[in-house]
Chain A
Amino acid sequence: MIEIKLTKIITGKDLAESFEEEYGSIENLENRLKKDSENMQLFSDLEDWKFFGKNPDDEIEDTTTIITDTLTLTNLELELLNFIKNEHPQSIRELARMIQEDVSNTQRRISRLVKEGLLELKKGSRNSKVPTLNYDKIEIAI
Chain B
Amino acid sequence: MKNEMRNVEMIHGNYIKSRKSKKGWAIVIIPPHARIDNFHGYSHIHFTPTGKKHKIIEMDFDMLYEIIRTHLKKNKKLIKEELLEVLS
Residues of A at under 8 Å CB distance from B? 9, 12, 33, 37-41, 43-44, 48, 55, 58-67
Contacts and interface: CB of A to CB of B under 8 A. Distances in A.
A39 B15 CA distance: 13
A115 B44 CA distance: 37
A61 B33 contact: no
Contacts of A33: 49
B6 A60 contact: yes
Given A41-B33, A44-B35, A65-B8, 17 more contacts: A9-B2, A37-B48, A37-B49, A39-B33, A39-B49, A40-B48, A40-B49, A41-B28, A44-B28, A48-B19, A59-B4, A60-B6, A61-B2, A61-B4, A61-B5, A65-B9, A66-B10
Would you call the interface of chain B mostly helix, strand, loop, or mixed?
strand
A63 B17 contact: no
Contacts, number: 63
Interface residues of B, number: 23
B7 interface: yes
B33 A63 contact: no
Nearest to B30: A41
Nearest to A60: B4
Interface of B: 2-11, 17, 19, 26, 28, 30, 33-35, 47-51
Contact of B2 (A41, A43, A60): A60
Contacts of A43: 35, 49
28 contacts: A9-B2, A12-B3, A33-B49, A37-B48, A37-B50, A38-B48, A38-B51, A40-B30, A40-B34, A40-B35, A40-B49, A41-B17, A41-B28, A43-B49, A44-B26, A44-B35, A55-B3, A58-B2, A59-B3, A59-B4, A60-B2, A60-B4, A60-B6, A61-B4, A62-B6, A63-B6, A65-B8, A66-B10
